[in-house]
Amino acid sequence: SERISETTNSQTPVRTRDLHASDRVQKMIEEQFKAIGYYYERKKNQHEHMPKSVRLDNELLGQICLAFYLNMPSEAKNQKAIVFSDKYEDIFDEAGINAKKMLTPYHVFLPIEAMKKEIQRKKRKRVIVNEKDAFISRATFHILNSVKLISEKEYFDLEKQADIDKAINKAILYISEVVESESKKRGELYT
């Protein structure tokens, strides 16, 4: 049925995400998440009747894994289509991926995403946000990747919220130093 929908549906384009929704690895991950109280969405809004707090979008989790495990934060941010194309086999390798492995970087990502949303909320309300802080809203996947690198170097346990918070703060500090340095070098050309 997947091949038929892929080749015969010429009126409505089928996204590569949808083509992978029935893959064995996607079903396996869904079952693992279900066993621990989460609803893994192999298709967009598959579990829309469930609270958002327990719904996990496989595309976002793929982006998170791309940034965290494959050290590709720029691609995770700017080329999310590769999650279900070029990098699909690397991200969703059945021998190496499981719900627990996906949940670790997801729990790191949540507070970073909350910071991003707060900055965006301030900007919408026309509250002045210093560029020193504003980069957070554009660098969530880079911060996530930096947290991983910092935690490996400094032995933070990313299963503990206190260690996650310490690693996030260090990542933001280090990246803000780079942002400040680059903005001084480039002046008006800095973005």
**Strand runs (DSSP E) across the chain, as ranges?**
39-41, 55-57
pLDDT tens digits, residue range 36-81?
A: 999 999 999 999 999 999 999 999 999 999 999 999 999 999 999 9
CA 25 to chain centre: 19
Q: Can you tell me the mean pLDDT for 21-32?
A: 95
CA dihedral defined by 70, 59, 29, 41, rounded to 10 degrees?
A: 170
Which residues lie below 8 Å from residue 62, measured CB to CB, with a gap of 6+? Answer: 80, 83, 84, 87, 88, 91, 92
Q: Looking at residue 96, what is its pLDDT?
A: 93
Q: Looking at residue 14, what is its pLDDT?
A: 53
> CA-to-CA distance for 60 and 68, rounded, in angstroms?
12
Q: Is 177 exposed, middle or buried (0-12, 13-18, 19+ CB in 10 A)?
A: exposed
Q: Looking at residue 10, what is its pLDDT?
A: 47
> CA-to-CA distance for 144 and 10, rounded, in angstroms?
38
pLDDT tens digits, residue range 109-134?
A: 999 999 999 999 999 999 988 876 78
Q: Looking at residue 59, what is its pLDDT?
A: 95
> CA-to-CA distance for 178 and 191, rounded, in angstroms?
12
Helix 99-124 vs helix 161-186: angle between axes, to the nearest 10 degrees?
Answer: 50
Q: Looking at residue 9, what is its pLDDT?
A: 47
Q: Looking at residue 46, what is its pLDDT?
A: 93
CA dihedral defined by 167, 171, 177, 179, rounded to 10 degrees?
A: -160
pTM: 0.87
